[in-house]
Amino acid sequence: MTLTISDLSPFKRRNAGNEEIHALLDLLPHPTLIASARTGRILFSNGGATELTAFTRKELSELAVSTLLPELVLSERGKQAGALVKRNSQSVAVVTTVSALSGTDQWLALSLESSASTPAGDDNRQRWEALHLLSLASQQPELASAYRQILQAGALLTGARHLVLYTPGADGALQVQAVHGSSVDFPSRLEAQDLAALRVPKMWQPGRSIESQLQRAAHANKLSYLATTPLDLTQPEVGLLAAADEDARPSEELLTLLQILAASAATAALNAQMSNTWRRDAGRLSESEKISTVLHEHMQDGVLFTDTSLRLTELNMAAEAMLGYSQAEVAQRPVHEVLIGTRALLPELEMALQGSEVMELGKRKLLRRDGQEFIALVRLAPIAPNGKTTRLAILISDLSEHEAFHLQTLQMSDRAWLGDVAAIFAHEMQNPLNNISTSLQLMQMSLPENDPGHEQLRTMLEDCERLARYMHSMLGVARGRAHQPEPMDIAEFCRQQVARWRVRLQRKNIKDHLQIAEDIPFIMGDAHALEQVFTNLFTNAMQAMSNQESGLLALNVSRAGDDMVEIVISDNGPGVPEDLRARIFEAFFTTKGGEGTGLGLSITRRIVMAHKGEITLESFPGGTMFKLRLPIAQN
């Protein structure tokens, strides 16, 4: 009874090991291969297969079935006659029985039997096999695999036992890329002088002059011939193909056949280059798509695209937000139904389609979907990839915030101009006001003591004093002064300020309390400017406590943790109402009615900010605190 592969139990289950499969395959009487129906590659082989093919089991497991059996059709079951290409590239006729293994549709058993007789047209059959291998070379996933298959086909086509392929290396010299046959030691690289002697197809045989390193190697290995040809006759530097044999004589058509093989190798290299270029371009295209997506989602300017009939095809997220329409709503709608302006845009859109340059339409009033107007900068950009406009891009930049900022700038400019006018007015009013005040004082002195006009003159003099304070404050704001900060002992400065104000405080029945922490560092300050700050804050505190029987003014000096000195000036007055605290530092804002100018705290904040410091207010019923933070002097 003859053992068949279906009788082997490991193929009826899926957990058989490789060693067990090989051992059982060796029990079969015929050379047998196990191949994958899905990939077409050889998986296992028995001893009979290695003996028939001259390949080792490891080598067979790295081959495709089409390399070993070029004519075999794996999808057809049963017997198939054809050729088997052995390791030495020689071809033998075999009959292959293809059958699916039980238990799986993915593995095929290939049982090989040598044919009893050799066909009369064996040479022709061998050449057809070589051409078949050449046709499959272009399907190899890697260029190195394609080169090896071309050399294998070359051995069948030319009968040469040894073939070697050279291609350019990184330094410009030609280097070995693929070899068929292993007994000849070919040079690993060919220098420029070698290429000069091998620029055309050439046949070398013993007895002829040696012109290159390659021919020298052929002579040293006692080869009967060496045939060479460039891969490209117009560019010999792109590569070289050589064929050689120890015993056989070259055929008359050897150089012609070698040029066919060289052309196949050059084509394979070109295909690989084009494939790499395609993959690179595909990568760039993918990157461009990602960039386009980012621009579409994050670009602040609105972009709308139309076709040549001015129907909308696309708009980005910024345009959706500006106009109030979604992409789905506007697709294929006429652009003038979505992009609506107080002036018609359609004529200019038509003109833009006829040109190729970007058109600047300038500022236009556009309408959002809800009817709200906004100012936008509009530009039209025709898209003409091949010189013919295919799309129109409409770019709109929302200038609403810009216009608001411009208006604010104009208002600030007007305020600065008004400040200059106020300064001039205050300066010009000083002399007349002094004259009026002097005249009123003289009139008061000339009146009898009980004259009722004294009361009117006293009121007029108080009004003159109040106007004088206004003028002085206005000049202080308008003129300012160039502060000259220098290292100063802020602790000692605070002691002096409290001492200077103590008598006035006592007259108002206000006690003072000074607390200074140890090791207070010097600050960068202008003593004259800071004296005005303390004067304004002390005056405010005294006025806040004027209606009380007694008061307390406290000053605390400490070092903050961020290279600042903190000075807290507090009083136990009634406090600032919550609704007024946010405006306390505004110019001309006062809580004192006609008695205040509303400029004291505004000037105070400007001085503190000029010192790169901070001033804040904290107030509550029964007390107010002003916190000053001034920078420490750096060594």
Contact residues for 262 (Cβ-Cβ < 8 A; gap 6+) = 229, 230, 231, 232, 239, 241
Residue 289 domain-assigned (yes or no)? no
Q: What pLDDT, on a 0 to 100 scale, did the predictor assign at position 119?
A: 45
For residues 176 and 221, state if they share a domain: yes
Residue 262 domain-assigned (yes or no)? yes
For residues 520 and 611, state if they share a domain: yes
Alpha helices in 177-301 (DSSP H): 192-197, 213-220, 254-298
pLDDT in tens, 396-411: 888 776 555 555 555 5
pLDDT in tens, 603-616: 788 888 888 889 89
Output the CA–CA distances (angstroms, integers) from residue 176 to 39, 75, 190, 429, 432, in the order listed: 30, 38, 9, 102, 107
For residues 388 and 422, state if they share a domain: no
Token pair listed for 265 = 């190798």
Q: What strand order describes the sheet that includes 359-367?
A: 312-315, 302-306, 391-398, 373-383, 359-367, 340-341
Q: Please say whether the dihedral angle defined by the alpha carbons of residues 147, 148, 149 and 152, taken in this order, is positive or negative.
A: positive
CA–CA dist 414, 406 (Å, integer): 12
Range of lowest pLDDT (315-324, 330-339, 575-584)? 575-584
pLDDT in tens, 94-146: 889 888 876 556 888 899 987 644 444 556 667 777 777 777 777 777 888 88
pLDDT(417) > 90: no
Q: What pLDDT, on a 0 to 100 scale, did the predictor assign at position 10?
A: 47
Tell me the one-letter amino acid at 361. L
Token pair listed for 251 = 């055929």
Residue 133 domain-assigned (yes or no)? no
Across the chain, mean pLDDT equals 81
For residues 369 and 456, state if they share a domain: no
Give pTM, 2 decimals.
0.36
Range of lowest pLDDT (10-19, 176-185, 253-262)? 10-19
Which of 118, 134, 160 terminates a domain? The answer is 118
CA–CA dist 115, 98 (Å, integer): 16
Q: Domain tally for the chain?
A: 5
Q: What pLDDT, on a 0 to 100 scale, did the predictor assign at position 163?
A: 92
* CATH at residue 92: 3.30.450.20
Residue 127 domain-assigned (yes or no)? no
Which of 454, 479, 504 terminates a domain? The answer is 479
Q: Residue 437's Cα: distance from chain center in Å?
A: 74
For residues 491 and 608, state if they share a domain: yes
pLDDT in tens, 20-73: 777 778 888 889 999 998 889 999 999 889 888 889 888 898 899 999 999 898
- Give residue 610's domain range: 486-631
Q: What pLDDT, on a 0 to 100 scale, did the predictor assign at position 526?
A: 87
For residues 475 and 447, state if they share a domain: yes
Residue 249 domain-assigned (yes or no)? yes
Instruction: Determine phi and psi for 485, rounding to 5 degrees.
Output: -60, 145
pLDDT in tens, 579-631: 787 777 776 656 655 455 556 777 788 888 888 889 898 888 888 899 999 99
Instruction: Please count the CA atoms within 13 angstroms of the CA of 458 that sit on its side-chain side.
Output: 6
Taking each continuous run of H as one helix and of E as one strand, the counts in the chain are 18, 24
Range of lowest pLDDT (4-18, 184-198, 329-343, 451-465)? 4-18
Q: What pLDDT, on a 0 to 100 scale, did the predictor assign at position 41?
A: 92
* CATH at residue 215: 3.30.450.40
For residues 514 and 474, state if they share a domain: no
| Angle ∠(78,83,87) on CA atoms, nearest 5 | 120
Residue 547 domain-assigned (yes or no)? yes
Closest CA to 465 of 499, 426, 437: 437
The residue count for the chain: 635
Q: What strand order describes the sheet that includes 510-516?
A: 510-516, 551-559, 564-571, 623-631, 614-620
Tell me the one-letter amino acid at 27. L
Which of 479, 509, 529 terminates a domain? The answer is 479
Q: What strand order describes the sheet that includes 107-114?
A: 42-45, 32-36, 107-114, 91-100, 78-85
Mean pLDDT of all residues in 544-555: 88
Most confident of 233-247, 391-405, 428-442: 233-247
Q: What pLDDT, on a 0 to 100 scale, did the predictor assign at position 425?
A: 66
* CATH at residue 563: 3.30.565.10
Residue 582: which H helix or E strand, with range? none
For residues 473 and 581, state if they share a domain: no
For residues 219 and 203, state if they share a domain: yes
pLDDT in tens, 73-92: 888 888 888 889 988 888 88
pLDDT(176) > 60: yes
Q: Which residues of 321-355 are buried (b: 16+ CB within 10 A; e: fewer)?
A: ebbebeeeebeeeebeebbbbeeebeeebeebbee
pLDDT(495) > 90: yes
Mean pLDDT of all residues in 365-383: 86
pLDDT(233) > 50: yes
For residues 494 and 616, state if they share a domain: yes
pLDDT band for 433, please (50, 70, 90 cuts).
confident
For residues 544 and 458, state if they share a domain: no
For residues 580 and 456, state if they share a domain: no
Residue 130 domain-assigned (yes or no)? no
CA–CA dist 534, 504 (Å, integer): 14
Residue 288 domain-assigned (yes or no)? no
